[in-house]
Copies of this chain bind each other. A is one copy, B any other.
Amino acid sequence: MCQLLGMNCNTPTDVRFSFTGFAQRGGVTGDHTDGWGIAFFEDKGLRHFVDHERAVDSPVAELIRRYPVKSRNVIAHIRKATQGVVSLENCHPFVRELWGRYWVFAHNGDLKDFRPRLHAHFQPVGSTDSEHAFCWIMQELSKSHAGVPTIDELTLTLRELAARIAPHGTFNFLLSNGLALWAHASTHLHYIERRHPFASARLSDEDLSLDFSTCTTPSDRVALIATAPLTCNEQWTAFESGQLKVFVDGVCR
C-alpha cells in the first residue's frame, strides 16, 4: 500500500520532523520502495520533488530532511507500485495548472476499472490509474466552474466527483491548490490538528521527539493528514469511509 502525508497550516511551517518519520516507510518500516514525491506550496509557487529511488536512501529525500522549506500546504507520497511501471512519470504527487493555480494530487489505492474518456485539456503523462483519475477530476472541475470558485463550492464539487470515482476501487487521496487541502478516504486516512498549547510529539517510525512549544507561536495552527498516524503519543482521528474533508489554515472544516 502507498503512503500519503499532507500538511495544512495557517503559517509557513517546517515539515521536516513529520517527513523524517514518513520517509522511513519508504524502505525501512514499510516496503514502499517504488519511488516517492513531495510538493510544497510557497504562496502560489510550488516546489515539486519526485524520485524513483527509495525514499529512505534517495539523495533528494536527504535534501528534504536537511533543508528547512516552510510551507502552508504540503503533499507527500511513497509509492508501492500496483499499476504502472516504476518510472519517474508515475511518481506522485502529480501537478497540473487550472485557473492560474497549480493543483497537486496524490493517491493511495487502486482504481482498476476507472478509465473514463478524457476529452478536455488534461491528459496523463504516465500510465497510472491515479494520474488518470486526477486528470478526470481536473477536467470535471474546469467544466463545473467558469472561473475560480470558493473553497466551499470546490468542496461540494469534489465531494460529488469523489463519490463517482470511489465505487471503482480504493480511493484515498490528497489534493491542494495552495489555498486549501482536501482529503478523501476509502480505507485508511488519519488526521490531527495541532494548536496552542503545543506539546512534545514522538515519531512512530523512528526514535525521535520534538517539543513543538519551542518552535511555535500561540496562534499557529497545523493539521497533518497521513495514511497511518505518524506519532505514537498523540490522538489521531480516523476518517470514515467515504469522507471528504477540507483543511484551511490548519483547521478541519
Query: Which A residues lie at the B interface, using CB under 8 A?
Result: 42-51, 59-60, 63, 66-67, 87-91, 95-102, 120-126, 142
Contacts and interface: CB of A to CB of B under 8 A. Distances in A.
**How many copies, total?**
2
B96 A97 contact: yes
> Interface SS of chain A: helix, strand, loop or mixed?
mixed
Q: Which 6 A-B pairs have CB atoms at the shortest separation, nearest pair first? A: A45-B88, A45-B89, A121-B121, A100-B123, A44-B89, A42-B88
Contacts of A142: 121
A101 B125 CA distance: 5
A66 B66 CA distance: 15
Given A43-B89, A97-B125, 8 more contacts: A42-B88, A44-B125, A45-B50, A45-B87, A60-B63, A97-B122, A100-B123, A100-B124
Contacts of A101: 125
